[in-house]
Amino acid sequence: MSNIFVIILVSIGLAFELVGCIGLIRMPNVYNRLQAATKCVTIGTCFILVGLCVFAAANSNISLVLKTIVCIIFILLTAPTAAHAIARAAHKSGIPLWKRSEVDKYEIDHEGEDPLPDDS
Amino acid sequence: MSIFITIIYVVLMICTFMCLFRIAMGPTSADRIVAIDILGTVIVGFCCVVILQGGRNFYMNIAISWALLSFIGSIALAKYLEGKGLDE
């Protein structure tokens, strides 16, 4: 009976991962690829981990359940942080937006600042 | 269940090869960093599937440490792309 739940949860996760990686191939620019891939793959991996958590709870394997929950919390905390850092670094290193992008809020907020301040 | 495990492996391999394609062909270095970040998250899913296949529970430790190291590596590569040192 718990196998059904595991199969459903892992299938949802796989669908998200596949869509995210197709977005990584298909999208035209760094920011669009980041937007498409990061969130889809994060939530897909979290669904696979939830499926594994159900599987471990059905086998009454308490340590595996706890490790799975720790891994879910860690991925949900760190993946958006890493994506934010990469997007900020890409913008600061001067990669232009896509040609049909209309507004650049980061540029408006930081207008007139030196993009690479010299601290030394 | 074993057919299902095979399907999961095939789909995850397709995702992995998409990430490797983007690492190889990405026009800018930021594309490659994004693809490396995504590849780390996909490999955590791989470790979960190995546990689902049967018995090898120590792969969960590998998954947790891979998630940690992937995060630290992504932050370091982003700082490098930004042109700063690691301690700022």
Which B-chain residues 32-61 have CB contacts (< 8 A) with chain A?
A: 33-35, 37-38, 41-42, 44-45, 48-49, 51-52, 57, 60-61
**Confidence (pTM):** 0.86
Contact A37, A79 (CB under 8 A): no
B33/B51 Cα distance (integer angstroms): 28
Domain-by-domain residue ranges, chain A?
2-96
**First-residue to last-residue Cα distance in chain A:** 64
pLDDT of residue A109: 79
B45/A45 Cα distance (integer angstroms): 5
Domain-by-domain residue ranges, chain B?
2-82
* DSSP structural state of residue B67: H
Query: Across the 120 residues of chain A, what is the mean pLDDT of every consecutive 10-residue run?
Result: 86 92 89 89 92 90 92 92 90 82 78 57
Q: At A65, is the secondary structure helix, strand, or coil?
A: helix
CA A58 to chain centre: 28
pLDDT of residue A76: 92
B24 touches chain A (CB under 8 A): no
A64/B63 Cα distance (integer angstroms): 12
pLDDT of residue A114: 57
HSE (CB half, 13 Å, CA atoms) of A65? 9
Average pLDDT rounded to a whole number, residues B34-47: 91
pLDDT of residue B86: 59
